[in-house]
DNA sequence: CGTATATATTTACATTCATCTATGTCATAG
DNA sequence: CTATGACATAGATGAATGTAAATATATACG
């Protein structure tokens, strides 16, 4: 097991933006998470998965929601998964993605948390 | 006055990610806001301004917190201001930036809001 | 086995981005 | 009016990123 913190672990460690200045390592840990979200396709993927019944969706469902090639969707899913925003589970032929809601909540607290 | 919505206005209009799928126009409106935040320097700038006494800081304060050239800081501030995350006010020789907390709160609600 | 389907990876290319240096603008001081 | 300090803009460059096309892997089924 790695000693490195994942982006998701990093974001859980910090006070809200408005409370105290972020250190450089903190900022460098959090930016990749926001970067992963900062794309229209990936935002829609996240909301599709998070709002899908059961909190999960298979790639086959997701592909149909876009006019993009399957490899492109797969690429975006990999980025979201790599950032720790989506969990992956293979069941038979299909792969299901599930939103990591605690990661989203931590991020929301960081961005919008009160100063005091 | 333009009929276009700013990114900040756009983000205030949407349900949380986990409640219902984002439309393409919504996602395209929100992504630029996240993109503006998705950089270590800009994250630190936002937190420096937001947590600074009085909720504002002048560029002279901000420059000193980084080992980057003044034009580079100015560039990042322009991006944050363009996204609607920072307000700008010139007073005499100095320029003060102020965090738009309601924009941050709306963004936080969008990302972390409960499904129901 | 062999074929079909679902998903991932690789490669290639065009675009975007962060940063720098140099220069411009504006306000104030002398 | 000229000099100085604070900040912005312009232009250039190298790195990172998005997308598509082709290919690979893995499972199911006959």
Confidence category of residue B16, pLDDT binned at 50, 70, 90? confident
C-alpha Rg value of chain B to the nearest Å: 15
Chain A residues closer than 8 Å to B113 by CB: 108
Q: What is the pLDDT of residues A41-90, one digit of tens each?
A: 999 999 999 998 888 899 888 888 888 888 888 999 999 999 999 999 98
How many Cα atoms within 13 Å fall on the side-chain side of residue B27?
Answer: 19
Evaluate if residue B116 carries a pLDDT over 90.
Answer: no
- Burial of residue B22 (number of CB atoms within 10 Å: 0-12, 13-18, 19+): buried
Could you tell me if residue B52 is inside a domain? yes
Residue B57, domain extent: 7-112
> What's the CA gap between A86 and A80, in Å, rounded?
6
Could you tell me if residue A17 is inside a domain? yes
How far A99 CA lies from chain B's nearest CA (Å)? 9
The total of structural domains in chain A comes to 1
Could you tell me if residue A45 is inside a domain? yes
CB of B83 within 8 A of CB of B32?
A: yes
Could you tell me if residue A2 is inside a domain? no
Could you tell me if residue A1 is inside a domain? no
Averaged pLDDT for residues B26-49: 94
Could you tell me if residue A72 is inside a domain? yes
ipTM score here? 0.85
Could you tell me if residue B1 is inside a domain? no
The shortest CB-CB distance from B108 to any of A51, A112, A115 is to: A112
Could you tell me if residue B24 is inside a domain? yes
Q: Is nucleic acid strand C under 7 Å from A59's C-beta? A: yes
CATH no. for residue B85?
1.10.10.10
Strand C nucleotides within a 7 Å radius of protein CB atoms: 5-10, 17-23, 26-28
Q: Distance in angstroms, CA of A26 to C1' of C8?
A: 32
């Amino acid at each position: 097991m790695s000693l490195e913190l994942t982006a998701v672990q990093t974001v859980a460690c910090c006070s809200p933006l408005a409370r105290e200045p972020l250190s450089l390592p903190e900022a460098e840990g959090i930016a990749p998470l926001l970067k992963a979200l900062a794309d229209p396709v990936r935002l829609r993927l996240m909301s599709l998965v998070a709002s899908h019944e059961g909190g999960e969706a298979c790639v086959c469902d997701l592909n149909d929601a876009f006019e993009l090639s399957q490899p492109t969707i797969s690429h975006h899913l990999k980025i979201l998964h790599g950032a720790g925003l989506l969990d992956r589970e293979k069941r038979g032929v299909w792969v299901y993605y599930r939103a990591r809601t605690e990661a989203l909540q931590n991020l929301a607290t960081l961005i919008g948390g009160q100063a005091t």
